[in-house]
Amino acid sequence: VSSVDVPDETAVGIIGAGPAGLVLAHLLKARGIDCVVLELHDREYVEHRVRAGVLEAPTVELLRTLGLADRLDRESLPHRGIQLAFEGRRHHIDFLDLVGRSITVYGQQEVVKDLIAARVDAGDPIVFEARDVEPVDVDTDKPLIRYRHDDEDRELRCQVVAGCDGFHGVSRPYVPDLTVYDRQYPFAWLGILAEAAPTQDELIYASHERGFALYSMRSPTITRLYLQVPADETLDGWSDDRIWSELETRLPTEDGFVLNTGPILDKGITEMRGFVATPMRHGNLVLAGDAAHIVPPTGAKGMNLAIADVFVLAGILDDVITRGRAERLADYTTACLRRVWRAQHFSWWMTSMLHRFGDDPFQRQLQLSELALVTGSVTAARNLAENYTGYPFDDMFGGET
């Protein structure tokens, strides 16, 4: 979009074209509410950032309802469960049997591509390479967003500013008096994308004496793999050979599971951190997704949580903008935080059960006991399955509060 085509006024100014900002834009459009999305990077960059790839059942249903799941339904990989590996053996956790719903593997950047394409095709504004974005006067009823585009200073007047600009975005500091809950885990994940056919069709979470490893995939020809590494690790010491050799130590099990290797297409390190900032709203500024909270990737919750936030937000914005009920913004934080803390706890629990925390043999025995419980007891397995596949967006625990 060139600057001249971008409106200087809209109902909702959205900062960030990640899953949160883009799904919010589509939810608002479905409710007949105008918005403009301002994104720092160019389209190519945003569409090719390699991130996680597990969609909860409610996330897939929402994308279908919005008419945004055509390619997802053709190309994604439905998984009926996951596997947990420890002490040389693999155990299947069958989500479909346990809770009647399952998960879908489809890369986050594929979701982002589909959402951008649908918006661009409809002629709705997304400004890529919006620089120096700054929310202004958000504590008044005339907020605006200042930014630079094509070397020109621009302003977008709006009723509400939605900060969907990720963990390192600009929006969060505009909420004063934030309470922050922060948990830094003493390790990180080294992730690779490899041109290698997956040898099986479910994820394997492996708790190995040398550290955690995760086997995932993106398509019938692409494998996605992760290794637990120390928190301050850089890619320098990790040649392709070393990565494969470590994966081949941690992943195989006695049942003959083998790993296909192949050219590595992408390598990166992901920090492991739990973070929640509250409140998620100040005046006419709201935060959604990673801008407000992040979880360690072990529970595969990041993208799903971002989408759950904007599901709640779109309903509230409809009341605010269509029905003039400005007071509804006050409900936003509480409506999101219950799910955020459930995801935070689940991600912490998965992380604690599966990773190596130093050499403490007592801790290791506790982990093995927990793993034996989860893979041996239907009640314990059902708890994992229920959390992993995701609670309904509108009614988390089915009517009970």
Active site residues: 79, 205, 297, 301, 388
Q: Which stretch binds ligand APR (CB under 6 A): 9-17, 181-189, 201-209, 244-252?
A: 9-17
Residue number of the CB atom closest to ligand APR: 18
Decide if residue 297 touches ligand PHB (CB under 6 A). Answer: yes
Interaction with ligand PHB in 257-296: which residues (CB under 6 A)? none
What's the burial of 193, exposed, middle or buried (CB within 10 Å: 0-12/13-18/19+)? Answer: buried
Say if residues 193 and 49 touch (Cβ distance below 8 Å): no
Interface mask toward ligand PHB for 221-240; x: CB under 6 A: ---x----------------
Task: Quote the tokens at residue 154.
Answer: 């621009």
Among residues 6, 14, 25, 39, which is the contact residue for ligand APR, using CB under 6 A? 39
Q: Which residues, numbered 115-144, are part of the site for ligand PHB (CB under 6 A)?
A: none
**Residues paired with 188 in a beta bridge:** 229, 271
Smaller CB separation from ligand PHB, 127 or 229:
229
User: Quick one: which of 12, 15, 217, 276 contacts ligand APR (CB under 6 A)?
Assistant: 15
Q: Which of residues 69-108 bind ligand APR (CB under 6 A)?
A: 108
Query: Residue 322 carries which DSSP code?
Result: I
Cα 94 from Cα 99, distance rounded (Å): 9
The item of ligand APR, ligand PHB, none sharing an interface with residue 224, based on CB under 5 to 8 Å by kind, is ligand PHB
User: Which of the residues 162 through 181 are near ligand APR (CB under 6 A)?
Assistant: 164-166, 169-170
- Position among 21, 143, 191, 299 found at the interface with ligand APR (CB under 6 A): 21
Nearest to 50 by CA among 270, 201, 204: 270
Indicate the residue among 55 and 247 with the shorter CB distance to ligand APR: 55
Looking at the DSSP bridge assignments, the partners of residue 63 are none
The 285-287 sheet, strands edge to edge: 126-127, 35-38, 12-15, 160-163, 285-287, 281-282
Q: Where are the beta strands (DSSP E) in 150-202?
A: 152-157, 160-163, 179-195
The Cα–Cα gap between 295 and 199 comes to 29
Neighbours of 245 (CB within 10 A): 11
Using CB under 6 A as the criterion, which residues of the chain lie in contact with ligand APR when the complex forms?
Answer: 15-21, 38-41, 46, 51-52, 108, 130, 133, 164-166, 169-170, 289-291, 302-303, 306
Residue ranges binding ligand PHB (CB under 6 A): 52-54, 203, 214, 216, 224, 297-298, 300
